[in-house]
Chain A
Amino acid sequence: MERLRQAQLQWQQLLSSESGRGWYMPPVAIPPKSASGSTDPPVHKIPGKRRTVIARHGPYQSEYHGISKGYQGNSIRTTKYTLISFIPINLFEQFHRAANLYFLFLVVLNWVPVVEAFQKEITMIPLVVVLTVIAFKDALEDYRRYRFDKKINNLVAKVYSGKQQGYVDQRWKDVRVGDFVRLSCNEIIPADMVLLYSSEPDGMCHIETANLDGETNLKQRQVVRGLADQGFEMTPEKFTSRIECESPNNDLSRFRGFMEHSNKMRVGLHNENLLLRSCTIRNTEEVVGIVVYAGHETKSMKNNGGLRYKRSKLERRLNVDVLWSVVLLFVMCLTAAIGHGLWLSGLKDPPFMIPDDTSPVLAGFYMFWTMIIVLQVLIPISLYVSIEIVKLGQIYFIQNDADFYNEWLDSTVQCRALNITEDLGQIQHLFSDKTGTLTENKMVFRRCTIAGVEYPHEDNARRLELYEEQDWDDEALPASLRKPRPRMQSLSCNSATSMNSHTPCDPEPGHQGDPQDTPSPRHAAFSSRMEKEVLPDPLLLLKLNTLSSPELPLLDGGGDASLEITYIVDFFLALAVCNTVVVSVPQQKQHTLQIPDVPRTPLKSLEDLKLLFQRFGIPRFTSISPSGAETSPGGNNPTRFAQRIFSRTSAVPPPSMWMDARGEEPQAAGSRAEQAGGGAEWVEVGPVYEAESPDEAALVHAARAYGCTLRARTSGQLVTELPGIGRLPVPLLHVLPFDSTRKRMSVVVRHPLTGEVVVYTKGADSVIMDLVAPPKGDAQTPEKHRDIRGETQRFLDEYAREGLRTLCIAKKVLEEEEYETWLKHHVFAETSIENREELLMESAQKLETGLTLLGATGIMDRLQEDVPETIEALQQAGIRVWILTGDKQETAVNIACACRLLRHSDRLLTANCSSKEACEVLLADLRAVIHSSRPGPGLEEKAGFTLVIDGQTLDWAVQDGLEEAFLELTQQCRAVICCRSTPLQKSQVVRLVRDRLGVTTLAIGDGANDVSMIQVADVGVGISGQEGMQAVMSSDFAVSRFKHLRKLLLVHGHWCYTRLANMTLYFFYKNVAYVNLLFWYQFYCGFSGATMTNYWVLIFFNLLFTSAPPIIYGILDKDVSADTLLQLPELYQAGQNSQAYLPSMFWFTMLDALYQSLICFFIPYLAYAGSDISVFSFGTPINTSALFIILLHQVIEGHTMTWLHGVVLLGSALFYFAFTLVFSVICVTCNSPANPLGIETRYMSDPVFYCVCALTTLLALLPRVLYRCVRNSLCPSDIVRGSLLDKLGLDERHARIQNWRDGRTHAGPLLTTTVTDPTLTGGHFTVCSANTRSVLS
Chain B
Amino acid sequence: MMASSYNAKEEDGHHSGASGPGGGTAVKSKKPDNTAFKQQRLPAWQPILTAGTVLPAFFVIGLIFIPIGIGLFVTSNNIKEYEIDYTGIEMSSPCFNCSQNFSWNSTTPCKCSVSFSLDQPFESNVFMYYGLSNFYQNHRRYVKSRDDSQLNGDKASLTNPSKECEPYRTSDKKFIAPCGAIANSLFNDTLDLFFIDPNGTRTRIELVKKGIAWWTDKHVKFRNPGGNNLNLTAVFIDTAKPVNWRKPVYELDTDQENNGFINEDFIVWMRTAALPTFRKLYRIIQRKNSMTPTLPRGNYTLDITYNYPVRSFEGRKRMILSTISWMGGKNPFLGIAYITVGSVCFFLGVVLLIIHHKYGNRNNSADIPN
A1299 touches B3 (CB 8 A): no
B19 touches A1174 (CB 8 A): no
A1265 touches B27 (CB 8 A): no
Interface residues of B in 273-317 (CB under 8 A from A): 273-281, 309, 312-313, 315
Asked whether A1300 is an interface residue with its Cβ less than 8 Å from the other chain, the reply is yes
B1 touches A212 (CB 8 A): yes
A277 touches B2 (CB 8 A): yes
A1270 touches B154 (CB 8 A): no
Question: Which of chain A's residues have a CB closer than 8 A to the CB of B49?
Answer: 1196, 1265, 1268-1269, 1272
Asked whether A1238 is an interface residue with its Cβ less than 8 Å from the other chain, the reply is yes
Which residue from B2, B138, B184, B276 sits with its C-beta under 8 Å from A278? Answer: B2
Which residue from A1086, A1248, A1269 sits with its C-beta under 8 Å from B327? Answer: A1248
B367 touches A1175 (CB 8 A): no
A298 to B167, CA, bound (A): 69
Question: Which of chain B's residues have a CB closer than 8 A to the CB of A327?
Answer: none
A1284 touches B315 (CB 8 A): no
Question: Which of chain B's residues have a CB closer than 8 A to the CB of A1270?
Answer: 51, 352, 355
A1299 touches B1 (CB 8 A): no
Interface residues of A in 1110-1126 (CB under 8 A from B): 1116, 1118, 1122
Identity of the chain A residue whose Cβ is nearest the Cβ of B138 in the assembled complex: A1085
Which residue from A211, A517, A1259 sits with its C-beta under 8 Å from B20? Answer: A211
Which residue from B277, B326, B355 sits with its C-beta under 8 Å from A1170? Answer: B277
Q: Known: A400-B32, A1229-B154. Contact between A1204 and B42, CB under 8 A?
A: yes
A1276 touches B46 (CB 8 A): no
Identity of the chain B residue whose Cβ is nearest the Cβ of A507 in the assembled complex: B21
Asked whether B338 is an interface residue with its Cβ less than 8 Å from the other chain, the reply is yes
Asked whether B38 is an interface residue with its Cβ less than 8 Å from the other chain, the reply is yes
Identity of the chain B residue whose Cβ is nearest the Cβ of A349 in the assembled complex: B312
A1169 touches B72 (CB 8 A): no
A1232 touches B146 (CB 8 A): yes
Cβ distance A74 to chain B, nearest Cβ, rounded Å = 11
Q: Mark B142-177, 1 if CB is under 8 A from A, else 0.
A: 111111110110100000001010111000000000
Cβ distance A634 to chain B, nearest Cβ, rounded Å = 46
Question: Which of chain B's residues have a CB closer than 8 A to the CB of A354?
Answer: 141-142, 145, 166-168, 181
B2 touches A412 (CB 8 A): no
Question: Which of chain A's residues have a CB closer than 8 A to the CB of B217?
Answer: 1237-1238
Asked whether B44 is an interface residue with its Cβ less than 8 Å from the other chain, the reply is yes
Q: Mark A369-387, 1 if CB is under 8 A from B, else 0.
A: 0100000000000000000
B276 touches A1084 (CB 8 A): yes
B334 touches A1255 (CB 8 A): yes
A1273 touches B355 (CB 8 A): yes
Interface residues of A in 496-539 (CB under 8 A from B): 501-508, 511-515, 517-523
Which residue from B53, B185, B276 sits with its C-beta under 8 Å from A1085? Answer: B276
Asked whether B13 is an interface residue with its Cβ less than 8 Å from the other chain, the reply is yes
Binds A, one of B4-12, B90-98, B118-126, B191-199: B4-12
A352 to B278, CA, bound (A): 14
Question: Which of chain B's residues have a CB closer than 8 A to the CB of A1283?
Answer: 46, 48
A411 touches B14 (CB 8 A): yes
Question: Which of chain A's residues have a CB closer than 8 A to the CB of B215?
Answer: 1238
Cβ distance A635 to chain B, nearest Cβ, rounded Å = 49
Which residue from B24, B279, B369 sits with its C-beta under 8 Å from A506? Answer: B24
Q: Known: A210-B18, A1173-B275, A1233-B143. Contact between A412 and B164, CB under 8 A?
A: no
Q: Known: A1233-B143, A1273-B355. Contact between A411 and B337, CB under 8 A?
A: no
B367 touches A1085 (CB 8 A): no
Asked whether A1307 is an interface residue with its Cβ less than 8 Å from the other chain, the reply is no
A512 to B24, CA, bound (A): 6
Asked whether A91 is an interface residue with its Cβ less than 8 Å from the other chain, the reply is no
A1286 to B28, CA, bound (A): 36
Which residue from A350, A410, A1228, A1276 sits with its C-beta under 8 Å from B368? Answer: A1276
A1198 to B33, CA, bound (A): 26
Question: Which of chain A's residues have a CB closer than 8 A to the CB of B313?
Answer: 347-348, 350-352
Identity of the chain B residue whose Cβ is nearest the Cβ of A1195 in the assembled complex: B47
Q: Known: A1090-B138, A1171-B328. Contact between A1248 and B5, CB under 8 A?
A: no
A638 to B149, CA, bound (A): 108
A350 touches B21 (CB 8 A): no
Chain B: interface residue count, which band?
Answer: 35 or more
B52 touches A1273 (CB 8 A): yes
B221 touches A1273 (CB 8 A): no
Q: Mark A332-362, 1 if CB is under 8 A from B, else 0.
A: 0000000000000001111111110000000
A1118 to B47, CA, bound (A): 11
Asked whether A304 is an interface residue with its Cβ less than 8 Å from the other chain, the reply is yes
Which residue from A210, A1269, A1284 sits with its C-beta under 8 Å from B54? Answer: A1269
Q: Mark B212-229, 1 if CB is under 8 A from A, else 0.
A: 001111001100000000
Which residue from B39, B72, B142, B146 sits with its C-beta under 8 Å from A1251? Answer: B72
Which residue from A152, A410, A412 sits with its C-beta under 8 Å from B21? Answer: A152
Cβ distance A1321 to chain B, nearest Cβ, rounded Å = 45
Q: Mark A1054-1079, 1 if CB is under 8 A from B, else 0.
A: 00000000000000000000000000
A1029 to B12, CA, bound (A): 13
A1009 to B203, CA, bound (A): 104
Which residue from B16, B38, B39, B144 sits with its C-beta under 8 Å from A1233? Answer: B144
Question: Which of chain A's residues have a CB closer than 8 A to the CB of B334?
Answer: 1167, 1248, 1251-1252, 1255
B333 touches A1166 (CB 8 A): yes
Question: Which of chain A's residues have a CB closer than 8 A to the CB of B145?
Answer: 354, 1233
Asked whether A1172 is an interface residue with its Cβ less than 8 Å from the other chain, the reply is yes
Cβ distance B332 to chain A, nearest Cβ, rounded Å = 10
Question: Which of chain B's residues have a CB closer than 8 A to the CB of A501?
Answer: 17, 19
A282 to B285, CA, bound (A): 101
B276 touches A1086 (CB 8 A): yes
Asked whether B40 is an interface residue with its Cβ less than 8 Å from the other chain, the reply is yes
Question: Which of chain B's residues have a CB closer than 8 A to the CB of A1089?
Answer: 140
Question: Which of chain B's residues have a CB closer than 8 A to the CB of A152?
Answer: 2-3, 6, 21
Cβ distance B165 to chain A, nearest Cβ, rounded Å = 10
Cβ distance B8 to chain A, nearest Cβ, rounded Å = 8
A1170 touches B278 (CB 8 A): yes
Asked whether B15 is an interface residue with its Cβ less than 8 Å from the other chain, the reply is yes
Which residue from B38, B39, B135, B149 sits with its C-beta under 8 Å from A352? Answer: B135
A506 to B22, CA, bound (A): 9
A301 touches B39 (CB 8 A): no
- Between-chain CB contacts (< 8 Å), 23 pairs: A212-B5, A216-B16, A216-B18, A278-B2, A280-B20, A347-B313, A400-B39, A402-B38, A405-B30, A410-B15, A503-B19, A511-B25, A514-B27, A1122-B40, A1172-B279, A1199-B48, A1201-B46, A1202-B44, A1233-B144, A1235-B148, A1235-B221, A1255-B65, A1262-B345
Binding site for B on A (CB under 8 A): 76, 78, 117, 144-145, 148-149, 151-152, 155, 186, 188, 208, 210-212, 214, 216, 277-278, 280, 298-304, 347-355, 370, 397, 399-402, 405, 407, 410-412, 414, 416, 479, 487, 501-508, 511-515, 517-523, 1024, 1029, 1033, 1038, 1084-1086, 1088-1090, 1092, 1116, 1118, 1122, 1163, 1165-1179, 1195-1196, 1198-1205, 1228-1229, 1232-1233, 1235, 1237-1238, 1241-1242, 1246-1248, 1251-1252, 1255, 1258-1259, 1262, 1265-1266, 1268-1270, 1272-1274, 1276, 1280-1281, 1283-1288, 1296, 1299-1300
Binding site for A on B (CB under 8 A): 1-8, 12-34, 38-40, 42-54, 61, 65, 68, 72, 129, 131, 135-149, 151-152, 154, 162, 164, 166-168, 181, 184-185, 214-217, 220-221, 244, 271-281, 309, 312-313, 315, 326-329, 331, 333-334, 337-338, 341, 344-345, 348, 352, 355-356, 359-360, 363, 367-369
Sample of 18 further A-B pairs with CB below 8 A, known A505-B19, A505-B20, A1273-B51 = A152-B6, A211-B18, A351-B309, A411-B14, A519-B29, A1084-B274, A1168-B274, A1170-B277, A1174-B271, A1201-B47, A1232-B144, A1232-B148, A1247-B326, A1251-B68, A1252-B334, A1255-B337, A1255-B341, A1273-B50
| Closest A-B pairs by Cβ, 5 of them | A1238-B216, A506-B24, A1178-B274, A350-B313, A278-B2
